[in-house]
Chain A
């Protein structure tokens, strides 16, 4: 449904329904509940005045900063005749941010169907993906593939393995500071609520001591994957790794970096994740140019991190540290994120090579801010992260 062209004698209800459809096309989640509330709101204002109607509808229909800011234009486009055509042209081609992102992505892919397509399986080994109970890793046991440099490994089986390791890692990363308490067989606190109830049977004697304890809580993971030219050989497996993290761990945010920062959290999650993975691997190869790691991390620290990075966040940077930005930018961004309480893990595939020194300037600048710096060029190396991450 497109924005309405009003028939001569349409009622206000019909127009409102049309407006809600117009909003839906633009990525708003407006349903029957919103329709009803908006109709009731009309009764409370003077609907003759567009500015009142705009304010009222904004309060009812636009939830979220982004939508709230865009609402004025969308409202004017629909209700105010004289601007309608112009705004419609602007508003229509860009339904919402995610979709716009995909379109851009697809455009960028259109001219680039060359080699390097990662062989993505349809279903990422769901059957065997259950983590092994205690959050221990089993990746080390599979000898054949575990010593190979990730570059040589893009088969679907290995991708599934990378995902499995990611899941186990996510399970291993638990935050043990929680204030909420849960009933448990052993625990530091008495569970008075259950005790009072049970004591009725004993004439008010708190006979059984029931306990509760603090449950483990998951950490927030923010992963930044460098997909510049120098990293593109690793990108496929790392994406599988990140997909694995997102799949088990709902508090994972994922970003790609080449010359700018791209949020891919939603694209990686969900059923079509593996398809998205293939697309993004393609994109990673498409951007063979320089990395702007420094400015990307700054963007992360200032925009996303301003609100969402806190003491429970583990930031995972997957990069070789080759950066075209001045190294101070990386240092500044990491210092800021660190100040917000984030713990920072840098995984550098080059570190696994014999005789590697962190000489890349951005890498050297980042070193003082890292909580953990590790190789990530084999599945073994990824698996070996577990004790470090679970200790956090």
Chain B
């Protein structure tokens, strides 16, 4: 499959990817290198991984990163309770107990190890990698370049199949160069008007096209305002669902109801105060 084909497949599964992004995804699959996606919150970075998994009809294994994430939660952990029991049960007549309790049977797989041991290459999503600390990045390096994990007691576990790895980052902190150099890269922007219309159409095909244009117009205009949290693509979709749920056919018809639905787009009080009903109507008027 070339990159155009991948782009079409993704679109068929409801994700509209620009040329650059589709190419980056294609190379990730073709070259077997991880892909690092950066961009503001809400541009659909996580969704890419989900859609890619659907497209390949394979498993999505997700590791949500957070500050303080460590190997025990990300890679593997020994099952201590079982180990202790096993030692007690066999202490008297087995001297090779140490070999036994540090074996596969007592190993708990966490997402990263899981991803290396699938029969069919899964999509491994390492979400918000910049939230984890630098030490964790170092753990990742071995996995991302060689697709293997070293467990001191067991030895090195090599991937049975190479997973398609997607990392996302929001710019909480700068990622190390070592990590960057192991990854392909794409910066994901908010979609432009045309792309966002296509996304909305892919997700909610029933929406009248005039209404869809209004909705996208308002959201695009809102993103240019000085808001604390700019509405992302997910917000657009939520809002469209709310509007059609209320059977509103034209945003100009019922300003009060539309104002009430703005909770889908504006997620802080200050932002809501920035868009009173007059501003909302002006935006709608422009978008029409």
Contact = CB atoms under 8 A, between A and B. Distances in A.
A307 B92 CA distance: 58
A178 B170 CA distance: 21
Interface string B86-101: 1111011000011001
A117 interface: no
Contacts of A209: none
Contacts of A37: 31, 33, 184
Interface string A201-216: 0011110000000000
A310 B68 contact: no
A45 B5 CA distance: 12
A68 B88 contact: no
Interface stretch (B22-30, B49-57, B237-245, B257-265): B22-30
Task: Please report whether the interface of chain A is mostly helix, strand, loop or mixed according to DSSP.
Answer: helix
B80 A55 contact: no
Contacts of A60: 27, 184-185
A34 B19 CA distance: 21
B19 A196 contact: no
Interface residues of A, number: 41
Contacts, number: 116
Contact of B88 (A192, A205, A307): A205
Contacts of B87: 196, 199-200, 203-204
A180 B134 CA distance: 12
Contacts of A195: 80
Nearest to B67: A179
Contacts of A203: 87-88, 91-92
Contacts of B68: 178-180
Of A31, A60, A180, A336, chain B has the most CB atoms within 10 Å of the CB of: A180
A155 interface: no
Interface in B6-27: 19-20, 22-24, 26-27
Given A45-B23, A59-B186, A204-B89, A307 B171 contact: yes
B105 to A, nearest CB: 14
B185 A64 contact: yes
Contacts of B3: 45, 52, 55
Given A44-B26, A55-B24, A59-B27, A206 B187 contact: no
A65 B98 contact: no
Contacts of B26: 44-45
Contacts of B85: 204
Contacts of A65: 38, 171, 187
B184 A59 contact: yes
Contacts of B98: 200
Given A55-B23, A56-B27, A199-B84, A63 B66 contact: no
Contact of B172 (A51, A196, A308): A308
B63 to A, nearest CB: 15
B251 interface: no
A330 B194 CA distance: 39
B139 to A, nearest CB: 12
Contacts of B97: 200
Interface string A17-52: 000000000000101011001001100111000011
Nearest to B226: A302
B223 interface: no
Of A46, A58, A59, A192, chain B has the most CB atoms within 10 Å of the CB of: A59
Interface string A329-367: 000000010000000000000000000000000000000
Interface in B125-167: 133, 135
Contacts of B181: 29, 31, 33-34, 63
Interface in B58-107: 66-70, 72, 78, 80, 83-89, 91-92, 97-98, 101
B180 interface: yes
A63 B36 contact: yes
Nearest to B30: A44
A157 to B, nearest CB: 35
Nearest to B70: A180
A192 B24 contact: no
B38 A196 contact: no
A271 to B, nearest CB: 19
A150 B67 CA distance: 39
28 contacts: A31-B181, A33-B181, A37-B184, A40-B31, A41-B30, A46-B2, A55-B3, A55-B22, A55-B24, A58-B24, A58-B185, A58-B186, A59-B27, A63-B185, A64-B180, A65-B38, A68-B186, A69-B187, A179-B68, A179-B70, A180-B68, A193-B80, A195-B80, A196-B78, A199-B87, A200-B87, A203-B92, A308-B171
Interface of A: 29, 31, 33-34, 37, 40-41, 44-46, 51-52, 55-56, 58-60, 62-65, 68-69, 178-181, 192-193, 195-196, 199-200, 203-206, 307-308, 310, 336
